[in-house]
Amino acid sequence: MKKTLFFLLLLLAGRTGQAQVPAMSSYPSASAVIFLDFDGHTVDGTGWNYNGPIFCAPAGLDNTKITSIFNRVAEDYRPFNVNVTTDSTKFLTAPLTKRIRVILTVTSSWYGNAGGVAFVGSFNWGDDTPCFVFSALLGYNEKFVAEATTHEAGHTLGLYHQAAYNSSCVKTSEYNGGTGTGEIAWAPIMGVGYYKNMTLWHNGPNSYGCTNLQNDLQIITSNNGFGLRTDDYPNTLSQATQIGFTNSLFVMNGVVEKSDDVDYIRFTLPVGSRFQLDAIPYNVGTGNSGSNVDLQVSLYDNQMNLVKSYNPGTLLNSVIDTNLSNNTWYLMVEGKGNSFAPDYASLGSYSLSGRYTPGSVLPLRQLLLKGVIKGDRHHFQWLIDADEAVTEQVLEVSVDGRTFTTVSGVSIDSRVYQYKPLSSGVLRYRMKVSFDDGKTHYSNLVALRHEPGQDQPRVLGTLLTGNVIAVNSPGSFDYVVYDINGKTLMRGQLRNGLNNLPATTLGSGMYMIRFTQGGNQWTEKLIRP
């Protein structure tokens, strides 16, 4: 007998256009299929049709957003032996009990105010019962639509919500909203991932009790006729895959398929060289947006002894910049947790780009850059420990972690610098230092986040799961909280520092909070699940 439980996600509204849907597939060889249907569909003869056929209009999304949504969802399902596709022919040729149609549509009035809805376990029912994602109610926001798509497809694969509980085992939210800020901020896919960059499968309490642990990966791979992908690189040093250089460069791609998966490769340097490696998780934009794996890369020598592990704490990508002798060297790539995300499902695809510069020898013992944010300015200081004299210093910045541009040249005697950034988001900095022996070297990377308006009050988490609205204020500001219809619910004044505003009277829905000071005002949205 089919389960009749279903689940939904709440959210917002907006509008945009519709385009011809490009045909894309994440893993064409897989027999199991998750079909993302953007161009409209008529649903009839299913458990949804209690009032007759449902005529679903297209999603109202252009090609750019469709592609971004597909790429985000495909990366969520990358570890599995399943094909995420926009090609209906792939769906129609898949076995009936190993496929699901996810209808992304503006048509939602037949159901109600929800971001999406699905029957739990319907992936293997064999009768083409679809699930739905309501793009208009998600504001046509590609991040929101992608999160809802993965989430609703997850329900069809047998998953319930990952919920949040306090220390007394009392449910504080139907949806676990995760934790953290920046690109390593984390939330469960089956919680609510709209507001966190790194959304992962999770092993935690579901919505039926704090002791009901739901192991997402185990459930997905046990009940739906497919498992994890075949491992693409060996898991032992002795069997490491040999990577060759072309014009002193190599590039390779891989997938971390499961929590204990490690990928080993080896390379041989013909001469002593400076070796540089960029390990980058798959992403759809700056700040490793849409990435699902926090990469750690470890370097081993020709005797297979660990030299060093590289894993910047606030970034998902890793960088190696060191001197190596002419020998064979080994790299181990793995997914790790961080200060916000557990190690459980740091899984996904990545690329490695390695290069060597023959005969380059570091003239210094240490080149260390540190940075902090003070108000709207980024402050830096650095240490250079070297025998050679400094001839040039340049502070460089990158918005994507790969391409760097000059912020400013700095006098050779200075070891401090500050400025007000023009770009927003996570900015990565490094010092480029040249010495009188003709060699140029780079410091470690420092990541700082710049958001315009850092001199204004900021809500610390727009998803309300507790009884307070936490606001960090740089001074005295007036505030007003009002509902979506413009009705004022409360008002008051902020003091400098952290302010906890009462939210016990706010029920489920969307609210606005407006801050004012003199002739300036700022508004942020609040969501109560």
Residue 4 is predicted with a pLDDT of 42
Token pair for 328: 């064979």
Q: Which amino acid is at 428?
A: R
Instruction: Write the CB contacts of 495 (distance below 8 Å, at least 6 apart in sequence).
Output: 473, 476
At residue 453, does pLDDT exceed 70? no
Q: Which residue has the higher pLDDT, 410 or 454?
A: 410
Q: In the predicted model, what is the mean pLDDT of residues 85-114?
A: 96
Tell me, what's the pLDDT at 466? 83
* pLDDT score of 393: 95
What was the pLDDT predicted at 312? 84
Mean pLDDT of 243-260: 95
AA identity, residue 477: F
8 A C-beta contact, residue 419 and residue 378:
yes
- Of 311-320, 329-338, 356-365, 473-482, least confident by mean pLDDT is 356-365
Confidence of residue 11 (pLDDT cuts 50, 70, 90): very low
CB 473 within 8 A of CB 496: yes
Sorted by sequence, the CB contacts under 8 Å of residue 230 that are 6+ apart come out as: 81, 257
Give kind and range of the element (H or E) at residue 91: helix 88-93
Domain 6-223 indexed as CATH 3.30.200? no
- Residue ranges of alpha helices (H) inside 170-304 are 216-223
pLDDT by residue (tens digit) across 155-166?
999 999 999 999
Q: Is residue 519 scored above 70 in pLDDT?
A: no
pLDDT band, residue 30 (cuts 50/70/90): very high
Confidence band for 458, pLDDT divided at 50, 70 and 90: confident
pLDDT at 1: 36
- Residue ranges of alpha helices (H) inside 99-241 are 142-156, 216-223
- What is the number of other CB atoms lying within 10 angstroms of the CB of residue 321? 18
Tell me, what's the pLDDT at 16?
42
What is the CA angle 108-193-460, rounded to 5?
A: 115
- 361-393, pLDDT tens digit by residue? 555 678 889 998 887 789 999 998 876 789 999
Residue with the larger pLDDT of the pair 361 and 527:
527
46 versus 517: which is more confidently predicted? 46
- Estimate the crossing angle of helix 63-76 against helix 142-156, to 10 degrees: 40
Residue 13's pLDDT is what?
Answer: 35
Output the pLDDT for position 449.
80
Q: How far is CA 367 from CA 321, 382, 445, in A?
A: 12, 7, 11
Whole-number Å distance between alpha carbons of 101 and 86: 10
Residues 6+ apart with CB under 8 A from 271: 326, 358, 359
Mean pLDDT computed over 208-234: 96
Say yes or no to pLDDT of 455 above 80.
Answer: no
List C-alpha distances in Å: 183 to 312, 425, 462, 507: 12, 10, 17, 30
DSSP 21: P
Query: Rounded to whole angstroms, how far apart are CA atoms 494 and 511?
Result: 18
Domain boundaries, the chain: 6-223, 237-358, 364-450, 458-528
Q: What angle do CA 455, 316, 526 make, to 5 degrees?
A: 40
Indicate whether 305 pLDDT > 70: yes
Q: Are 107 and 54 in contact (CB under 8 A)?
A: yes
- What would be the CATH architecture of the domain defined by 364-450? Sandwich (2.60)
Predicted pLDDT of residue 454: 57
- Residue 364 pLDDT: 61
CATH for the stretch 458-528: 2.60.40.2550
Confidence of residue 3 (pLDDT cuts 50, 70, 90): very low
What the block records as the tokens of 508 is 């489920």
* CATH fold match for the domains 6-223 and 237-358: no
For the chain, give the mean pLDDT. Answer: 90
Mean pLDDT of 139-160: 97
Pick the CATH number of 237-358 from 2.60.120.380, 3.10.180.10, 3.40.50.11540, 3.30.413.10: 2.60.120.380
Q: Mean of the pLDDT values across residues 273-293?
A: 94
Per-residue pLDDT averaged across 386-407, rounded? 86
Q: How many CB atoms lie within 10 A of CB 3?
A: 12
H or E segment to which residue 66 belongs: helix 63-76
Query: Cα–Cα distances in Å, from 193 out to 113, 162, 189?
Result: 18, 11, 6
CB 474 within 8 A of CB 496: yes
Give the per-residue pLDDT at 161: 97
Distance CA 61, CA 66 (A): 6
Lowest average pLDDT, out of 58-72, 330-344, 403-417, goes to: 403-417
